[in-house]
Amino acid sequence: MRNSLSASVLSVIIIAILSLLMYISFEIYAYNKTFSEIITLIESLIIIIFGLALINKRLKEAVSPKNLALSITFGVLLYVAQWAIAYVPAFVWYTPPFNYFATALFVYLPEGIIVSVLLVLTESAYGSLFMMIIPFYIISMISYFNPIWTPFYFSMASLAEIVIFAGKREYITAALASIVFSATDAFLASQFMLFNFGVYQPPLIQLSSAFIDIIFSIFGAFLGLAIGKKAKTAWRP
């Protein structure tokens, strides 16, 4: 219980810091584009270094045959799920009120499910999310080569791994790590979209949009937790 509480508090702190940094980045962008970009890059690099430092001595768990196979499989599944949005009818993305929830429903809900199920099946093994993000990253780079996005991909895994470290691999840790994974995606994606393409919205609007995404990811994470528990009982490694 104490480990779950620690992971829960840490998750809230991480989300609060990410939201603050995103808000600052968007505020500064209007006055100094370069400084805003520097904040985004430094933020993501610090996240990656810190996450890798925590799991450095535990990576053997991730490269066990079972966890390696699961992580690679779910990395490919995550890619397929996220790029399947190309088949969603165009009116959904541009017609109110559907457009307010489209990204949350078609990206963050399935992302929450996939990451949570993976963590339940691997028993939240340290490094499993890094192993998952590698095939996801490689396929994404093949589809759309843009190395500037590299820190973004590995930041998602890194912060979620920190939550796993705090939660000591209890079941609820899988859901919390999944939520932090998606929150990092929601906040940092908007900063990298700003960085790469100049996609700007007023900070409060961007913040509210990110929190809608996170709410849907929470539903996905706990749904994935239930699915993962069911699947785990049938799993025969």
Helices (H) and strands (E) in the chain, counts: 11, 0
195 touches 40 (CB < 8 A): yes
Q: What is the pLDDT of residue 65?
A: 80
Residue ranges per structural domain of the chain: 2-234
Question: Is residue 96 reached through a cis peptide bond, with omega within 30 degrees of 0 on the bond before it?
Answer: no
Q: What is the pLDDT of residue 66?
A: 82
22 touches 206 (CB < 8 A): yes
92 touches 48 (CB < 8 A): no
Place of tokens 């610090």: 46
Per-residue pLDDT of the chain (237 residues; tens, 9 = 90+): 556 677 788 888 889 999 998 888 888 887 777 887 788 888 888 888 877 776 665 665 556 788 888 999 999 999 999 888 878 888 888 888 888 899 999 999 999 999 999 999 887 677 888 889 999 999 999 988 888 888 899 999 888 888 887 776 667 888 899 999 999 999 999 888 887 777 778 888 889 999 999 999 999 999 999 999 888 877 555
